[in-house]
Amino acid sequence: MINRPLLDPGALDGVDLADPRLHAEYDLTEVWRHLRDTAPVHRHPATRRGDGFWVITRYDDVATVYKDSRLFSSERGNVLDTLLAGGDSAGGRMLAVTDGAHHTALRSVLNKPFTPRALEVIVDSLRTATWKLIADAVAKDEADFASDVAANIPLAAICDLLGVPQSDRAHILSLTPSALASSDGAPTEEGTWSAKNELLLYFSELAESRRAKPYDDVVSLLVTSDVGGRPLSHEEIIFNCYSIIMGGNETTRFAMIGGLLELMRNPEQWQALKSRQVSVETAIEEVLRYTTPSLHSGRTATEDCFLGGEFIEAGDIVTVWNASANRDERQFPDPDRFDLARTPNKHLTFAHGPHFCIGAYLARAELNAVFSGLRAMATGMRLTGEPRRIYANFLSGLATLPVSFTPDPAFTGA
């Protein structure tokens, strides 16, 4: 549904932020505002999913947690479901759930293929492929922007980086949505783990193949690299491949889809983009802030501490909610307005500090290709059906977005 009912903050005592249905079926804008104003460091009670946890909602407090990986560790897990289940089996082995010296060493290896220079060929290729997808969608009477366009762009770029053969990509695309979310109701533990395990098995086999015959790709880089004076274990390699495919595919895709929806809901913003009153570069920062595809991130307190005046005990689960921080009126004037000209725009969509997203440059390049293509090829667009939301407590976005475009007669080709 497009317009979800606003959840009354008065119902907060009965709210379970770990429930995927809550985020799919309700608009939590007023809940986040209430928490920021009255309980910015809020103790969420235990639920049937597990122990209680801290909910951090103000921008400055969220940034504080992100910056301090010594006090707020990722090694037990960085998403609520994993933390409530007792911890992440990849802790200390996968970049996203590793801290300290090993994180620094591993990140220095993984940063190499994500630099602007290293990505130059991939960015050029993805722009060409993206414009072709958009041209095909614009030419149709009706397209599902989610599946016809957005689903193909981040996945193609990440698969190029990892060296996933073209023949395997449809299989990978079929698995990644189910590993973190569901498009038809709350995800089942069985379905989520099945998809995750299939992805891990796939990358295990790909890593073995690259060990025998390395190529110029990220899997080969991981197989042949030393980190901290030793080769990466097989488990470290496959966990980091999984992290890259998930982090690089789902979040950017939902930003694309959500960004197009907001352009249809705010036609004056579309006109500002179309008429070049606002640059694509500035516009995509607002798309990233406003859509906030990653709702939260999780940490574990390593020692007793105070945050926002609240006492947090060592071992407590601490969740930082990007969805709230990116709408904090203390940081963003008129935060609930979708404003493509917004500047400065220091959103936390890519996190902050040691775990800032290594794929941020690539994600921005993908979004640039999409919205520059739409600006060039269409004069307008309209919804032709009801979009369907995903069910997740970590991700936020649309599984479908049926649209019809009005072609721009001035466009004669790239």
pLDDT > 90 fraction of the chain, expressed in percent and rounded = 88
How large is the average pLDDT for residues 73-79? 98
Q: Is the pLDDT of residue 177 over 90?
A: no
pLDDT tens per residue, range 296-328? 999 999 999 999 999 999 999 999 999 999 999
Q: Is the pLDDT of residue 53 over 70?
A: yes
pLDDT of residue 12: 86
pLDDT of residue 198: 93
Interstrand relation of 317-321 and 53-56 (parallel, antiparallel or unpaired):
parallel
Residue 173's pLDDT band (cuts 50, 70, 90) = confident
For residues 405 and 380, the answer to whether their CB atoms sit within 8 Å is yes
Q: Is the pLDDT of residue 192 over 90?
A: no
What's the pTM value of the predicted model, to 2 decimals? 0.96
How large is the average pLDDT for residues 395-404? 97
Q: Is the pLDDT of residue 186 over 70?
A: no
pLDDT tens per residue, range 93-149? 999 999 999 999 999 999 999 999 999 999 999 999 999 999 999 999 999 999 999
pLDDT of residue 183: 61
Residue 11's pLDDT band (cuts 50, 70, 90) = confident
Residue that wins the pLDDT comparison between 108 and 184: 108
Q: Is the pLDDT of residue 89 over 80?
A: yes
Please, what is the end-to-end C-alpha distance for the chain in angstroms? 35
pLDDT of residue 304: 99
Q: Is the pLDDT of residue 187 over 70?
A: no
Q: Is the pLDDT of residue 295 over 90?
A: yes
pLDDT of residue 181: 63
Q: Is the pLDDT of residue 203 over 80?
A: yes
Summary mean pLDDT of the chain: 95
Nearest to 185 by CA among 390, 408, 405, 336: 390
pLDDT of residue 413: 82
CATH of domain 9-407: 1.10.630.10
How large is the average pLDDT for residues 54-72? 99
Residue 289's pLDDT band (cuts 50, 70, 90) = very high
